[in-house]
Chains A and B, each alone.
Chain A
Amino acid sequence: MIFLFLTSGLFLGWTLGANDAANVFGSAVGSRMISFTRAAVIASVFVILGAVIQGSGASDTLGQLGSVNAVGGAFTVALAAGLTVFFMTKAGLPVSTTQAIVGAIIGWNFFTANAVDTGALLQIVATWITGPVLGAIFAYALYHLVKVTRRRIKVHLLKYESYLRVGLMIAGAFGAYSLGANNIANVMGVFVPSIPLQEANFGLFTLSGAQQLFFIGAIAIAAGILTYSKKVMETVGSSLLELSSEAAFVVVMSQALVLFIFSSTWLSAFMVRLGLPPIPLVPVSSTQVVVGAVVGIGLYKGVRNINVKVLGSIASGWITTPVAAGLSAFLLLFIVRNLFGIDVGHSTGTPGHVSEGIDFSLLVKYVIIGLLIITSIYLVYLITKENRRTERMNKKYYD
């Protein structure tokens, strides 16, 4: 039954993989600098690593906003966010999974008469604004650095391009890692309080309950990347964001840095050790950070007429998305509880239903092992296929 409830989160993960992987590898794939297979394999592996290793920070902040304490509620919240993203995308409105999930959690808070932690909410909203701004600042600085370095080293254009290709792969891997670390909270964050799993020992490593959920969510993201992101990547690379390879590298690197900053518990603790305020660990919209980074490059190039309409649509999305997701969550929670009689959560003052315990943990452990094996086999198959294709092409032209 719990796996059925997880489907809404997995669907959210799948859409995230299908759409947001394009922010990481779109420009490189669209411009044919990196093949889709290579990009998809790198993105899938690093999304999973980022989610499992570093996903807890942003997820904890979402938990502060509203700890959804029944699995039925978590399912409905994730479903409301997913549907909001789906319909707003269909209507051509600017939308972000991050903002949708926050709105849906607030909707759950209202429905279950839980108080909204305004401190956490303000922290999250402030990050939505600082994310794209930081993206623009990083992109401006990095682009300047790249340009100055190129002038200094006087490297041949072809060699420079091969360096960029490697750079794009490394930046893409870092971007995918940060995407997994930061955005897994959107996919699985709401399920963490309602599905308490036991720590699982896999011999070589152990995974906490939350990490097991993040792993399953990350597999859904990887599935989205492998099955559906090709078209999006090619569209992003060739039409929406037609960037030079240099600019593409800078954009991906800036986005990765911003997402990493807002999900690294280590960095936040380091800031505290330095006597500075901690970094809020909050899920940020990767698309909006990418737009910020593109604006940063535009500013460096001296573009005077920045499209205010695009910036305006981002700002409007900060309001419309959470409101739409909040309303749909409220409505769906009402339907799920009253029509299907499913527990969707309760006020934190009253004791509620806790999901199945040890047996379910064991089941999840085996599911994870199965998923690990299937994913590894599939990735090896993809790499072999790609290598064979390259060999065939080389033979064709040189034999």
Chain B
Amino acid sequence: MSLFTRTTRELTVRIDEFFDTIEIGILIFKEGVKAYAKGDKNAFQNHLAKIDDMEGKADKLQRSIENDMIVHSILPQQRSEMVKLLWQLDEIIDTAKKSLNEFYIEIPHVPSPLVDEFISLAEVSGNAAEELIPAARTFFREPHLVREKLIKVYFFERETDKAAFQLKKKVFHEMNELSLAEKAHIRYIIHHIENISDSAQAAADLLASMSIRQML
């Protein structure tokens, strides 16, 4: 019996640590985009290194949690959904890391009139993912409250779509000084930033169905 409680306690701590890692990763992503858009290369490099560490830590935690759940037969009935949820959450930090790497490798040109909108897009997309974490934490203690927490995720996801649409429209309709290649490159980077909120929405959908099942 002591093995049960010890494993459960350790696993609870690790799950919380996993959520912390994702949350910090999202904050780093937002700061990273801000630093890049404002041209602060040192800060950007710093954020890039940090998100790389965070992503690696999240991967390790995800694998160890899955492993312990199988070995100690924890949550046997919800295991496949739990594994999927962890994967979806890990996907968020993966996408964030990939996005910052795209900035680093492709060095996209962010025209000065677009800087604020770029930062705002990263902010709102990151917010969708950020709001998902409290909802995921709530699932473990008060599953009946998950749905109301998820409302914010869906709200920020819609806001991201709107902001991305406006930004793309501005790039292609109003900024004739940019070449088609530059426009396409900016659109590609916008798409990457948007992916974070899309991943958050996919995780939110899964979390919603899991919480409903818990309440039945």
A interface, CB within 8 angstroms of B: 31-33, 151, 154-159, 161-162, 165-166, 244-245, 301, 390, 393-394, 397
- Point out the residues of chain B lying under 8 angstroms from A301, CB to CB: 216
Within 8 A of A (CB), among B69-95: 71, 73-77
B interface, CB within 8 angstroms of A: 1, 3-5, 8-9, 11-12, 15, 67, 71, 73-77, 139-144, 214, 216
- Point out the residues of chain A lying under 8 angstroms from B9, CB to CB: 159
Interface class of chain B by DSSP: helix
Within the complex, which residue of A32, A156, A166, A244 is in contact with B1, where a contact is CB–CB below 8 Å? A166
- Point out the residues of chain B lying under 8 angstroms from A165, CB to CB: 4
Cβ-defined contact, B77 with A245, below 8 A: yes
Cβ-defined contact, A157 with B216, below 8 A: no
In whole Å, how far is A65's beta carbon from the nearest beta carbon of chain B? 43
In whole Å, how far is B142's beta carbon from the nearest beta carbon of chain A? 6
> Given that A151-B144, A156-B141, A301-B216 are known contacts, is A162 also in contact with B4, CB under 8 Å in the complex?
yes
> Given that A32-B73, A33-B76, A244-B77 are known contacts, is A157 also in contact with B4, CB under 8 Å in the complex?
no
- Closest A-chain residue to B71, C-beta based? A397
A-B contact pairs, 22 of them (CB 8 A): A33-B73, A151-B142, A154-B141, A155-B141, A156-B141, A157-B75, A157-B139, A157-B141, A158-B12, A158-B15, A158-B140, A159-B8, A159-B12, A161-B8, A161-B74, A162-B5, A162-B8, A165-B4, A244-B77, A301-B216, A393-B71, A394-B71
- Closest A-chain residue to B11, C-beta based? A158
In whole Å, how far is B83's beta carbon from the nearest beta carbon of chain A? 14
Which 6 residue pairs across A and B have the least CB separation, nearest first?
A32-B76, A157-B140, A162-B8, A158-B8, A162-B4, A32-B73
- Point out the residues of chain A lying under 8 angstroms from B76, CB to CB: 31-33
- Closest A-chain residue to B143, C-beta based? A157
- Point out the residues of chain B lying under 8 angstroms from A156, CB to CB: 12, 140-141
| C-alpha gap A161/B69 in the complex (Å) | 12
| C-alpha gap A250/B198 in the complex (Å) | 40
Cβ-defined contact, B75 with A161, below 8 A: yes
- Closest A-chain residue to B138, C-beta based? A154
A166, A390, A397 interface centre (most CB from chain B within 10 Å)? A397
- Point out the residues of chain B lying under 8 angstroms from A151, CB to CB: 142, 144
Cβ-defined contact, B77 with A31, below 8 A: yes
In whole Å, how far is B86's beta carbon from the nearest beta carbon of chain A? 13
- Point out the residues of chain B lying under 8 angstroms from A33, CB to CB: 73, 76
| C-alpha gap A132/B143 in the complex (Å) | 32
| C-alpha gap A394/B4 in the complex (Å) | 12
- Point out the residues of chain A lying under 8 angstroms from B140, CB to CB: 156-158
- Closest A-chain residue to B139, C-beta based? A157
| C-alpha gap A156/B140 in the complex (Å) | 5
- Point out the residues of chain B lying under 8 angstroms from A162, CB to CB: 4-5, 8
- Point out the residues of chain A lying under 8 angstroms from B67, CB to CB: 397
Cβ-defined contact, A154 with B142, below 8 A: yes
- Closest B-chain residue to A153, C-beta based? B141
| C-alpha gap A32/B73 in the complex (Å) | 7
In whole Å, how far is B1's beta carbon from the nearest beta carbon of chain A? 7
- Point out the residues of chain A lying under 8 angstroms from B77, CB to CB: 31, 244-245
| C-alpha gap A156/B141 in the complex (Å) | 5
Cβ-defined contact, B74 with A158, below 8 A: yes
In whole Å, how far is B69's beta carbon from the nearest beta carbon of chain A? 9
Q: Besides A158-B15, A162-B5, 4 other CB < 8 A contacts?
A: A31-B76, A151-B142, A301-B216, A394-B71
| C-alpha gap A245/B214 in the complex (Å) | 11
In whole Å, how far is A286's beta carbon from the nearest beta carbon of chain B? 23
A154, A162, A301 interface centre (most CB from chain B within 10 Å)? A162
- Point out the residues of chain A lying under 8 angstroms from B139, CB to CB: 157
- Closest B-chain residue to A35, C-beta based? B73
- Closest B-chain residue to A248, C-beta based? B77
- Point out the residues of chain B lying under 8 angstroms from A166, CB to CB: 1, 4
| C-alpha gap A154/B140 in the complex (Å) | 9
- Point out the residues of chain A lying under 8 angstroms from B3, CB to CB: 390
- Closest B-chain residue to A394, C-beta based? B71
| C-alpha gap A32/B142 in the complex (Å) | 24
In whole Å, how far is B20's beta carbon from the nearest beta carbon of chain A? 16
In whole Å, how far is B64's beta carbon from the nearest beta carbon of chain A? 10
- Point out the residues of chain A lying under 8 angstroms from B1, CB to CB: 166
| C-alpha gap A159/B141 in the complex (Å) | 10
In whole Å, how far is B123's beta carbon from the nearest beta carbon of chain A? 32
In whole Å, how far is A185's beta carbon from the nearest beta carbon of chain B? 34
In whole Å, how far is B79's beta carbon from the nearest beta carbon of chain A? 9
| C-alpha gap A393/B142 in the complex (Å) | 33
| C-alpha gap A166/B75 in the complex (Å) | 14
| C-alpha gap A301/B15 in the complex (Å) | 30
In whole Å, how far is A41's beta carbon from the nearest beta carbon of chain B? 15
- Point out the residues of chain A lying under 8 angstroms from B214, CB to CB: 157
- Point out the residues of chain B lying under 8 angstroms from A154, CB to CB: 141-142
- Closest B-chain residue to A154, C-beta based? B141
| C-alpha gap A151/B215 in the complex (Å) | 10
- Closest A-chain residue to B78, C-beta based? A157
A154, A156, A166 interface centre (most CB from chain B within 10 Å)? A156
| C-alpha gap A179/B4 in the complex (Å) | 28
